[in-house]
Structure 1
Amino acid sequence: MSLKIHNILPFVALFLVFQSCKSTEEEKAKPNVLFILADDFGYHDMSVMGSKYYETPNIDRIATEGMIFTDGYAACQVCSPSRASIMTGKFAARHGITDWIGAATGEKWRNAGRSNQLLPPEYNHALNKDYITLPEAMKEAGYRTFFAGKWHLGEKGSWPEDHGFDINKGGWDVGSPMGGYFAPWENPNLESGPDGENLSMRLARETVDFIKANKDTAFFAYLSFYAVHGPIQTTQEKWAKYRQKAEEQGIPETGFKMGHFLPIRQVQDNPIYGGLVETMDDAVGVVLKALDEMGLAENTIVIFTSDNGGVSAGDAFATSNLPLRGGKGYQFEGGIREPYFIKVPGMGNGQKCVTPVSGTDFYPTILDLVGAQLKPEEHNDGVSLLPLLKGENIAERPLIWHYPHYGNQGGEPSSIIREGDWKLIHYYEDGHEELYNLKNDISETSDLAAEFQDKKEALSKKLFAMLDEMGARYPERDPEWTQEKEDAHMKNVIEKRWPQLEKQRLQFLSPDFDPENNWWGSKVTRD
């Protein structure tokens, strides 16, 4: 008996080695995933989407080699809710992070000095740890997971490493690039580089280092740029390039139009923002080039999107989203419609898909693309887009947005539903509703609520049934609000803030513009 066991041991060992090799080969055969998320990057902030001002050849490449979802949406008009929806596959009303984490609620909102009619409701300030997030699901599927850049989904204890990422480079509490885009910066999870190192390029290099270290196994790399969030900064060379470009295209005397609460930028001619955009695109190019050089491009899914619309009002008033109305923080298409590109080797090839899709769909789509088991009990509000990538169809469904807050950019507390070509907006200040047919009116200029009363009522009923099922929270009236206070605030915006913005715009475009600080310190040489 002992002799028989002794004789069979070599065969057992050989079998185990074979199984181990087979397992390794299976891991290598799995497609890698590179997910690139820009911050505050608008639908028309790329050459491929029609911009005549910004230059984005590397982002354009992802679009033209993949599928362009023309009606791709973020799950909210501001950052934290959208980012949570990508991680969970849930609409904001369901996961409860309905505003950027750090925004004031209740009576504290009065400190903003806006004199608004409503007090925004409380919201969750971190991802729920009971959820199985997208990176956790990818780990279950055998993937190494990596995060670089902006997180903004909770304080320590709710950082990327607490929600499924093996490595975290730069993700922490805040949503803006503390210290700016040039080293030295202030980030507890990303050691500052030599003076003048660019943050976007650093995040790209960290991503490349991870890919190189894991090129022989399956990886999920999540590159989440702080760009192009304010403060907007660039190099002197790039500023000069885009200043000259604006001059060649013709500089209008005025660049803003008054919105409901703030002036809204109408032209793409900010040379500082143009340089910031190009640097982010350069960083994207660094990672794409690395995939090519390592022979990984043909086995890597690349996704590019943004967390909300470009900032046309508030913050840095950086870009225009026209012909889309509004921008970041707004209930209009400029606030929620995003660049939404999925590149799967062998699929897409620059084709355009007009089916409305959401940030909630990335979770199930990625699982489906890598052959992992879907988790419909987790990604409740997302569906796999694999059929669309194959040129097939998915069932029509309603998409909803819930933002019961005042945006820093001038947006109003509202909830939205889109179904087919129809979009309904419910406003919480006075309860009125607007109805638009996006197929015929992408700029949302013709409110059809009175003409199509039945459609308005049906969509409104469906919207609130979904919100109530998700446990949505709603704003309350501020008993201290008066029309006189609000009128006084708006008078100051129109008479002082608006002229200041027009003056600043022209200063940025002046040949002798001087920032009077070291925000283009990237000219510092490295020894």
Structure 2
Amino acid sequence: MLPNRLLALMLLALLLLPVESFAADRPNFVFFLVDDLGYMDIGANNPETFYETPNVDRLAETGMRFTNGYAANPVCSPTRYSIMTGSHPSRVDATNFFSGRREGRFRPAPLNDRMPLDEVTIAEALREAGYRTAFLGKWHLGPTEEFWPENQGFEFNVGGHHRGSPPGGYFAPFRNPRLEDGPNGQHLTQRLTDEALAILEEVQDDPFLLYLSYYTVHTPLQAPKDLVEKYQRKAEKVSDLNEFGDEEQVFPTDRPRRVRQVQRHPTYAAMVETMDTSVGRVLAKLEELGLSENTVVCFTSDNGGLSTSEGSPTSNLPLRGGKGWLYEGGIREPFLIRWPGVTPPGSVSDVPVVSTDFYPTILDIAGLPLRPDQHLDGVSLVPLLRQEGEIADRALYWHYPHYSNQGGIPGGAIRDGDYKLIERFEDGRVHLYNLAEDIGERHDLAEQMPERVDAMRRQLHAWYRDVDAKFLQPKDGREPWRPE
């Protein structure tokens, strides 16, 4: 046994080592965030999908696929905030995309259009621990430069600024203040991937976070001509019978909204393929550099697939609704994590998880202390990834007090076990669904199960109070419903 004095000196020496010494053996992280990608858009979740996603499917086959993975919000900026901070966006009133102030029968809730600078982002936490940090693609978390990635913990910022869609479209000139133009016609998704590969070359000797936030598959619907033509030929073989159906519309109109029911949009399919090819290129680069076995890869989206507006390019069936809706089609996401050497390949978890869980999970994997004062709404998924335990039972919550561009209804929702309750903010109506038996949310059980409705509603209202949720505002002398 070592003498006490010698042992104390050894411990002191360890404490005095620079952060980089501890970081050397820590895992790397690659985080793919694909804008507007629906749960049913990847083959791993939907073997019958019209789209071709072999690289994403292989990622699922080599890691864990979460069948009940959710975004914290049915639109982009709030979910992006939740990933960056591990907190629910309603806590800071970041409840809509950051330029979304559309009115309906009532005025929307107050909107904070920036991620506060005093938030400790996942990039800041990892950078403090000696990680190199790189952001590429869509940011949409603040209106001016002071709120952009380089001021939120990222050493590299390629393309991240205030806009939610690519200002120049998907082909150069990009008109992006954080991305130099390439030759005319250069494709944006390919360019961001090229930049990511170059950054991997530069940071390969240090632990790193590469956060690749593709603008794809957000509108405008644009893709390389040869790929569009490929899917035009493929679409000819898919029946267009019942290609569109009717979905409800916001109160009080009875006019239905068109919703896509068949996946066969050639340009959207081509956009999905460009994303998938790019994911494959990044994964191949990790292999080439000998980094794969020490790199954790996460893959998700920021909201459901776009099915009810702006060209309605994809179908989320059997999930109801899409982007901008509190139905499953608007919030259930592709949700994949690969942790080599720890999570058995091809693992599947049916445990409900949400985008706020990524931050504490990444810290836990890295061996860094969790921040319970900050991560009030997320938990580490390491017990699931290790398949050595479960996470505590919990309810999941959503709060969207806005009129979406996609026709979605302002409301809140809670999922507790198999049951999901949706509450409408215009008039206070509620709906109850058993997702285990009715994933399409077509059979409303509210009248049959009043006691469950009452219990879940009380639970949801307590959560509103906890996060200081805001609600619809009066308009033209009309008062919206308010929770008690």
- TM-score (normalised: structure 1): 0.84
Q: 1:490 is matched with which residue?
A: none
**Is it true that 1:335 corresponds to 2:330 in the alignment?**
yes
* Aligned counterpart in structure 1 of residue 198 of structure 2, from 186, 189, 209: 209
SS in 2 for 1:168: strand
After TM superposition, list the pairs within 5 Å mapping 1:56-95 onto structure 2. 56-95=53-92
- Displacement of 1:92: 2.1
Kindly provide the amino acid, as one letter, of the partner of residue 438 in structure 2.
D
**Is it true that 1:351 corresponds to 2:340 in the alignment?**
no
- In the alignment, structure 1 segments of 5+ residues that lack a partner are 1-15, 110-115, 483-527
**Is it true that 1:40 corresponds to 2:55 in the alignment?**
no
SS in 1 for 2:206: coil
Instruction: Give the whole-Å Cα distance in 2 for the aligned partners of 1:67 and 1:228.
Output: 23
Aligned length: 455
- Displacement of 1:307: 0.1
For the 8 Å contact 1:435–1:449, the answer to whether it is kept is yes
Instruction: Give the whole-Å Cα distance in 2 for the aligned partners of 1:477 and 1:448.
Output: 30
* Aligned counterpart in structure 2 of residue 395 of structure 1, from 392, 409, 417: 392
Kindly provide the amino acid, as one letter, of the partner of residue 135 in structure 1.
A
**Is it true that 1:185 corresponds to 2:183 in the alignment?**
no
After TM superposition, list the pairs within 5 Å mapping 1:235-384 onto structure 2. 235-248=224-237, 250-261=238-249, 262-346=257-341, 347-384=343-380
Kindly provide the amino acid, as one letter, of the partner of residue 217 in structure 2.
V
* Aligned counterpart in structure 2 of residue 460 of structure 1, from 457, 461, 466: 457
Could you list the per-position Cα deviations for residues 327-380 of structure 1 after superposition, in whole angstroms to 9, with x for gaps in the alignment? 000110000000000000021311110000000000100000111111111111
Could you list the per-position Cα deviations for residues 109-168 of structure 1 after superposition, in whole angstroms to 9, with x for gaps in the alignment? 2xxxxxx32211111110112221111111122111110000000022100111111111
**Is it true that 1:31 corresponds to 2:27 in the alignment?**
yes
Instruction: Give the whole-Å Cα distance in 2 for the aligned partners of 1:31 and 1:141.
Output: 12
- Displacement of 1:24: 5.8
Instruction: Give the whole-Å Cα distance in 2 for the aligned partners of 1:257 and 1:76.
Output: 25
Kindly provide the amino acid, as one letter, of the partner of residue 48 in structure 1.
A
After TM superposition, list the pairs within 5 Å mapping 1:127-142 onto structure 2. 127-142=115-130
Runs of 4+ in 1 over 2 A off after TM superposition: 22-28, 476-482
For the 8 Å contact 1:92–1:401, the answer to whether it is kept is no
Instruction: Give the whole-Å Cα distance in 1 for the aligned partners of 2:49 and 2:146.
Output: 43
Could you list the per-position Cα deviations for residues 261-315 of structure 1 after superposition, in whole angstroms to 9, with x for gaps in the alignment? 3211111000010001101111111111110000000000000000000000112
Kindly provide the amino acid, as one letter, of the partner of residue 345 in structure 2.
N
Instruction: Give the whole-Å Cα distance in 2 for the aligned partners of 1:349 and 1:336.
Output: 26
Instruction: Give the whole-Å Cα distance in 2 for the aligned partners of 1:356 and 1:388.
Output: 11
Q: 1:491 is matched with which residue?
A: none
**Is it true that 1:475 corresponds to 2:475 in the alignment?**
no
Q: 1:431 is matched with which residue?
A: 428
Instruction: Give the whole-Å Cα distance in 2 for the aligned partners of 1:161 and 1:58.
Output: 30
CA RMSD, Structure 1 to Structure 2 (Å): 1.7
- TM-score (normalised: structure 2): 0.91
Kindly provide the amino acid, as one letter, of the partner of residue 239 in structure 2.
I
Kindly provide the amino acid, as one letter, of the partner of residue 426 in structure 2.
E
After TM superposition, list the pairs within 5 Å mapping 1:220-239 onto structure 2. 220-239=209-228
Instruction: Give the whole-Å Cα distance in 2 for the aligned partners of 1:182 and 1:175.
Output: 16
Could you list the per-position Cα deviations for residues 415-460 of structure 1 after superposition, in whole angstroms to 9, with x for gaps in the alignment? 0111111100000111010011111110001111111111111111
**Is it true that 1:145 corresponds to 2:140 in the alignment?**
no
Distance change >3 Å, CA 212–CA 81, structure 1 → 2: same
SS in 2 for 1:401: strand
- Which sits farther off after the overlay, 193-202 or 317-326? 193-202
* Aligned counterpart in structure 2 of residue 99 of structure 1, from 96, 99, 107: 96
- Displacement of 1:60: 1.1
Kindly provide the amino acid, as one letter, of the partner of residue 280 in structure 2.
G
Relative to its length, the structure with more helix (as a share) is 1
After TM superposition, list the pairs within 5 Å mapping 1:3-22 onto structure 2. none
For the 8 Å contact 2:19–2:129, the answer to whether it is kept is no
- Greater Rg, structure 1 or structure 2? 1
For the 8 Å contact 1:231–1:316, the answer to whether it is kept is no
Instruction: Give the whole-Å Cα distance in 2 for the aligned partners of 1:379 and 1:476.
Output: 29
Kindly provide the amino acid, as one letter, of the partner of residue 165 in structure 2.
S
For the 8 Å contact 2:51–2:273, the answer to whether it is kept is yes
- In the alignment, structure 2 segments of 5+ residues that lack a partner are 1-12, 250-256, 480-484
Kindly provide the amino acid, as one letter, of the partner of residue 441 in structure 1.
D
SS in 1 for 2:415: strand
- Displacement of 1:23: 7.1
Q: 1:510 is matched with which residue?
A: none
